[in-house]
Structure 1
Amino acid sequence: MNGINLYQSIVNEQIFHEFKEQRGVTLFNHSANSNYIEDFISVAYVLCPNIIEVNGYIFIADLYEAQGEKAIDKLLGLESQFNANKKHIEQWVNSWSFGDFFLEKACESMDNEKILKQFGDILVYNWTRRAKEIFPNRNIIVEYNEGLMGELGLSITLYEQ
């Protein structure tokens, strides 16, 4: 095949111009000038998190916070609390406010709707791919919106439809 093809990133490179402080001339360069290797690794973990399945329910493991027998006990409590509504249980456990991703890093970008939506799109893309990789035959929905399941501001959630 001849010619040149550019396959666009899921990140709109123009979002770089929304950054209050630019540490480079491109997004790629900004990242190289802003992060330690530990930062890259921890971000990769957030984008491709551990997922736990408990009796058919799917949870982001870090948001479920229970393993082994305690995971089953916790699920029984959630089933009682939500009248065994699987979708609501998964939505509630897997909901996370965008602001909670940056608790110790308050900045003006948290007030920039373009940046927040780009962040949401990145999370949706990666969490969806992760869920499809593990559960290819299940209809897993990843979405973000305002105030999901009582969270403040834009929030993300994952659940099975």
Structure 2
Amino acid sequence: MNRIGTKRDKTASGYITESVRYKAQRCGGCPLRGSCFKAQGNRIIEVNHRLNQYKRQVRERLLSEEGVRHRGRRCIEPEAVFGQMKYNMAYRRFRHVGEDKVTMDFAFFAIAFNIKKMCAKMRKAGERLITLAKYIFMGLFITRYNGNIATCYQMNEKKAA
């Protein structure tokens, strides 16, 4: 195979990848040509050497003694949550920059995820739990009131009195 050039692509997140393009010399008489590819001319392949290097490094780390020990301690439970987060809810990148803002961003997502999960359970259980949940949520919203922290429910009682 002969090197015919490089190809640069930009992903949706802005990362620039560089692939080297190679072209085969004589595909015409090859007995595997039909199973290899269907196009006219000789086969062209693209190889991302940086990606292959990263994959090699990751494979070495995962197969090392420390990597095997680390994978053994890895918890299975959060995998399903992160899978839903990424694929079902299309949440692949944080929307803010900075440790505090990312923590806040993830906390809001976790709260929303838990509310969604709770609503699904309540739908299964029936309507009685929905009215109970409304009262629970009313009591959970915390606001500042005259320098003291009070729930919204308590604030409404004070205003009515």
Common fold by TM > 0.5: no
Normalising by structure 1, report the TM-score: 0.24
Normalising by structure 2, report the TM-score: 0.24
Which entry has the higher C-alpha Rg, 1 or 2?
2
